[in-house]
Amino acid sequence: MNGLKSLNLSFCIRVEELPGELGRLECLEMLNIEGSSISRLPHSMFQLKDLCIVWSRWRLWSYGFTCLKEISRYTASSYVHQRRYDRIQVLSGN
């Protein structure tokens, strides 16, 4: 699974949490958890470079994602970009 690039769990209402091991998937580029029962992200997810997360606008805001690309009225996406010294900067997606 190390080569996994996209994980779509949209509207998988029985999925309530993500395993911390997802942060080890260095190739992961897209994570869609819109409409799922996931309420928090494991800290390991923020170690992934250029990960696009699709989730509810409110959830993204609660994690400090401020530059959002609107998908619908309630859904948005945002990218996690990692810089030197492990500082995390979030930029809007294209």
Domain range spanning residue 28? 6-91
Rounded to the nearest integer, the mean pLDDT of the chain is 80
8 pLDDT higher than 90: yes
> Is 56 part of a structural domain of the chain?
yes
> Is 19 part of a structural domain of the chain?
yes
> Is 36 part of a structural domain of the chain?
yes
C-alpha span between 28 and 49 (Å, rounded): 9
pLDDT given for residue 38 in this prediction: 92
- Contact (CB, 8 A) for 41 and 20: no
> Is 11 part of a structural domain of the chain?
yes
Mean pLDDT of 27-32: 92
Helix (H) or strand (E) holding 61: helix 57-62
Domain count along the chain: 1
Render pLDDT for 37-75 as a digit per residue (tens, 0 to 9).
998 889 888 888 888 899 888 888 888 887 788 888 878
pLDDT given for residue 4 in this prediction: 92
> Is 1 part of a structural domain of the chain?
no
> Is 71 part of a structural domain of the chain?
yes
In this prediction, residue 90 has a pLDDT band, given cuts at 50, 70 and 90, of very low
> Is 69 part of a structural domain of the chain?
yes
C-alpha span between 36 and 82 (Å, rounded): 26
43 vs 85: which has the higher pLDDT = 43
